[in-house]
Amino acid sequence: MNDDVLIIGGGIGGLTLALELHEAGIPCRLFEAAPEIKAIGVGINILPHAQRELTRLGLEPALAALAVETKEAAFYNRFGQHIYSEPLGRAAGYAWPQFSIHRADLQAVLIGAVVARLGSDRVHLGWRCTGVAGDATGATARFVDAAGHPLDDRRGSVAIACDGVNSVIRKQFHPHEAEPRYSGVTMWRGVTKMQPVLSGATFVRAGWLNPGKLVMYPIRNAIDAEGNQLMNWLAENETPQRVARDWTRAGRLEDFIAPYLDWQWDWIDVPEMFRRAETILEYPMVDQDPLDRWTFGRVTLLGDAAHPMVPRGSNGAGQSILDAKVLVEVLRAHTDWAEALVAYEAQRLPATSNVVLTNRVNPPDAILRVVYERTGDRPFERIDDVVSHDELVAITDAYKKVAGYDPASLAVVS
């Protein structure tokens, strides 16, 4: 019998899983629906808890060469008044950096490592999974090619569904699941070539969802002779749901720019940054209620397929990396892999459900909501009259605990 682990989906979760399995000496094959791995998406953050795993996998130098090592978080209201700043990553004392990176760069580092370490014959592009079946001794996955023609079934020891937010395998096991839950907010994401602002490595959040919230952070350094960076930004506006969840859908400036027209502060001209964008994508802030079950015999879910979350705490990619780490730990610890998949679910389902639910109400940007509500969305005289420093620290520290990157949860802090 074939004892390969079948990995369905070559996104960040699936590729990390392939590297973790290889490291553990467990054979695997990865099946990705796309005929080629293309540069799509915009920026994402890798927080220290996820970077710890990527460092252990030997990927830190390659990531450091492409990413921006983010040093601080800064919060402002929509009038440009500073609310709060705190150090991030190594600057905050962690033993691992926080990287802000173009999703395509992260994907390129991961796929490059997978091909170099496992061999290209272990990566099957253009294989779209249509369903899986587990039995007492293994799992069988069915596939079609890019044109929809059937390919050979593939058999393995277990099948791991890493097929993202629109997972067909999640749908197979949870056919009556409710539609994705819309949070009432649409985000427009883009990248703009521009000169560094603030520290040159600052993760900025400003304003609040009505009329509009801005997130921005640089994701590539020194991209030309003028020393420009590639700035990743998100505009989040309360709006009726406009579109289905498709990471590649193009967005239009005129649909979201209005609330930001007077956001011209001494260090940034926000509407100008939007106007000069190279790419604009539109995505609804949706998630799904946590499932009660991921594991069905020799099949389980991982990453966005298991726990789609609103992208508000920089945790989508990170939680999929942590899933991969725990999954391989339990496979190594159990001789019966059906039991291992149950043990994986027992660890990761409650932990990630907590992140999904916290992202709905109290992600790190809850700081902005507190200031918005207490000031009635007006400028303040002194921030200390609105909210104390201790309260601000408590809000961000609480999220770090939920997501698993508070310094105490990470074994090694420098």
Ligand X SMILES: Cc1cc2nc3c(=O)[nH]c(=O)nc-3n(C[C@H](O)[C@H](O)[C@H](O)COP(=O)(O)OP(=O)(O)OC[C@H]3O[C@@H](n4cnc5c(N)ncnc54)[C@H](O)[C@@H]3O)c2cc1C
Residue 304 CB, nearest approach to ligand X (Å): 4
Residue 364 CB, nearest approach to ligand X (Å): 15
242 or 374: CB nearest ligand X: 242
Residue 322 CB, nearest approach to ligand X (Å): 11
Q: How many alpha carbons lie under 13 Å from residue 313 in its C-beta half-sphere? A: 31
- Residue 234: phi and psi, rounded to 5, are -135, 135
Which positions lie near ligand X, rule CB under 6 A? 8-14, 31-34, 40-42, 44, 103, 128-129, 162-164, 168, 189, 247-248, 303-305, 311, 316-317, 320
- Residue 85: phi and psi, rounded to 5, are -135, 150
Sign of the four-CA dihedral 159, 59, 69, 92: positive
What is the β-pairing status of strands 72-76 and 202-208? parallel
What is the β-pairing status of strands 123-125 and 72-76? unpaired
5 or 42: CB nearest ligand X: 42
10 or 284: CB nearest ligand X: 10
Residue 199 CB, nearest approach to ligand X (Å): 22
Residue 360 CB, nearest approach to ligand X (Å): 16
Q: Which long-range contacts (CB under 8 A, 24 or more apart) does 266-270 make?
A: 266/80, 267/197, 267/198, 268/197, 270/214
Could you tell me the CA-to-CA distances from 294 to 7, 161, 170, 180 in Å, in that order? 15, 10, 8, 17
32 or 72: CB nearest ligand X: 32
34 or 413: CB nearest ligand X: 34
E strand or H helix at 73, and its extent? strand 72-76
Partners of 185 in beta bridges: 238
79 or 247: CB nearest ligand X: 247
Let me know: does 371 contact 14? Beta carbons within 8 Å.
Answer: no
11 or 383: CB nearest ligand X: 11
Let me know: does 189 contact 233? Beta carbons within 8 Å.
Answer: yes
Q: Which residue's Cβ lies closest to ligand X?
A: 11
DSSP H helical segments within 85-152, as ranges? Answer: 103-118
Residue 39 CB, nearest approach to ligand X (Å): 9
Q: How far apart are CA 109 and CA 332, in angstroms?
A: 25
Residue 252 CB, nearest approach to ligand X (Å): 17
Tokens of 91: 């600057």
10 or 84: CB nearest ligand X: 10
Residue with tokens 């596939």: 143
Could you tell me the CA-to-CA distances from 45 to 61, 98, 128, 197 in Å, in that order? 16, 7, 28, 18
Residue 87 CB, nearest approach to ligand X (Å): 22
Residue 343 CB, nearest approach to ligand X (Å): 20
146 or 261: CB nearest ligand X: 146
